[in-house]
Chain A
Amino acid sequence: MAETFLSIRGVQKSYGPNVVVQDFNLDIGRGEFVSFLGPSGCGKTTVLRIVAGFEEPTSGTISIGDRDVTNLRPNQRNIGMVFQAYALFPNLTVAQNIGFGLKVAGMAKAEAARRVAEMLELIKLQKFGDRYPYQLSGGQQQRVALARALAPKPRVLLLDEPLSALDAKVRVSLRDEIRSIQKELGITTIFVTHDQEEALSISDRVVVMSQGRMEQVGAPFEIYNFPKTRFVASFVGTLNVLNGKVADPAKGTIAIDGQDIVASRGLGATKAGDSMSVALRPESAMLVDLGGGRNRMRGTIEDVSFLGSVVRLRVRFTDNTILMDTFNSPNFPPPARGQTVTVIFAPEDVLVLDGLEAA
């Protein structure tokens, strides 16, 4: 990680007895893209608004580039922000919206016009400068909002669920556009979202939050593959939970519906006969054996859904069922409902949930 630029230290926020954010500590490097991910009400937006200056933390400090900004008013912090509901000024044209921060700062007209033109080019809306917000689509409005936030060259960019009001296709393309603009400008960015796919695809690091607490901080790869808490494991991605009993703690074997499987890590101090939950990602299970001491479980196909590139199967063992994804191929028609199959997965992919913090 590059040098720390934005630092959130010991931030706590409570409304009366209601604690919304507790003990939030995070150092963000210069030019880093960090996402706050969590369900609604987890405190992610509150932290963002504390950074912006709209909320005062009950305790803790915010500093940007070695300067403590905790007591500065929002309009003194030099931060750019994009809101979920566009929030473009309806009475101003696109160009006037983008130039708002420049005008307020008293920038010379010619210079401001140059900067606005530059921003319009950045968001590829050169011809839209004279339009009003109501004449633009949602995606276009949000690009203008981004340009408006970036025009005064803020030190930090805050994105508060900027994509949730848009429809699916625009969401993906704007997501990529935001990421490429962010990289091009090298601006330190915090992105708040409840959509795990969004967070994983766009960020350098992801902060998963739940009930006002940080659950885990890490690169998307880490968060997805090595969740540290039960919450992270279940919130990020789809997870099959299998309930069984420990068969032999020394060998790491677990009996699930009477079939023994091996988990390579996390069994810890358990004894035979203990109840045990393990988890498996849908993409970790296969119907083809690649060899190398993998787990094999016999089950029955209960349901087949064709999702395009992926075929999702639901397989029932006895009490447990799992969802598994297999790649579509025109040469291999998917198995039929009721067919008996062998589900194969590596011991490394078995996630022992009881080994994680319950949190």
Chain B
Amino acid sequence: MIFLNYFISGISLGSIYAIIALGYTMVYGIAKMLNFAHGDVIMVGAYVCFYAVARYELNPFIGLVLAMIVCTFLGIIIERFAYKPLRQAPSLAVLITAIGVSYLLQNTALLLWSSNPKVFPSIIGRGAFKLFDGELSISHITALTIIACLVIMAVLTLFINKTRLGKAMRACSEDKGAAQLMGINVNATISLTFAIGSGLAAIAGALLCSAYPTLMPTTGALPGIKAFTAAVFGGIGSIPGAFLGGLMLGVIEIFAKAYISSQLSDAVVFAMLIVVLLVKPAGLLGRQTQEKV
């Protein structure tokens, strides 16, 4: 039963990673860049939600919507000013810029909101479902997280496969030049991708801080890196891959914490990443691409 408890909290943590990983993977699929700053967008989302709920005593869901709006715009602005001028630049340059943006967000947050940790109020209270005479307890936030992740996955899959905009996104990720010739507005599509990814980051931020209620300017960094690991794990660029990678990483992390050592759990997670990349260099569900000669 303890095992099942761990498993469920692993799935819950994994769901958060999966939602964040979606942002990484969609952006990578279309812009072929690692948006290193994604983790810090989560943090911004969490702060907006925190201030809306704790200071202005708004309904948590209004706070969440507010956070999504702010993050969506943040994502679009980052793309426009930092990444768009580098469309033609080598990937090393783009990656370094993304790291710069990540530090910019973290340190701006540090100046605005100080480094003191804030206690994040859970968006749906701290209750729990008790099953099997209380032997298995699933907190509401755990349940909500898992449900949210499933809903997001379903909606996103439908969006990508069934709508015009989704088709445009897939076209751009295949071949930007050809997409442009077919009348797709490539810049708008890339902006849209950043917007969706950042909006999801806001949700992830609220869920993350509800489950682990300490909020600091560096809150987003480690989950960001881990979610990124999850995206790579599942095969970056692949949406089901992000889902699978996120869940697996969450479960591995919780089990490593429980059965190996809590101090070494991060090391175990990263070691898993390396093992996966060795066996499947493009990740579990990723496509191996070959440079044209």
Q: Do A and B come from one complex?
A: no
Residues of B at the A interface (CB closer than 8 Å) are none
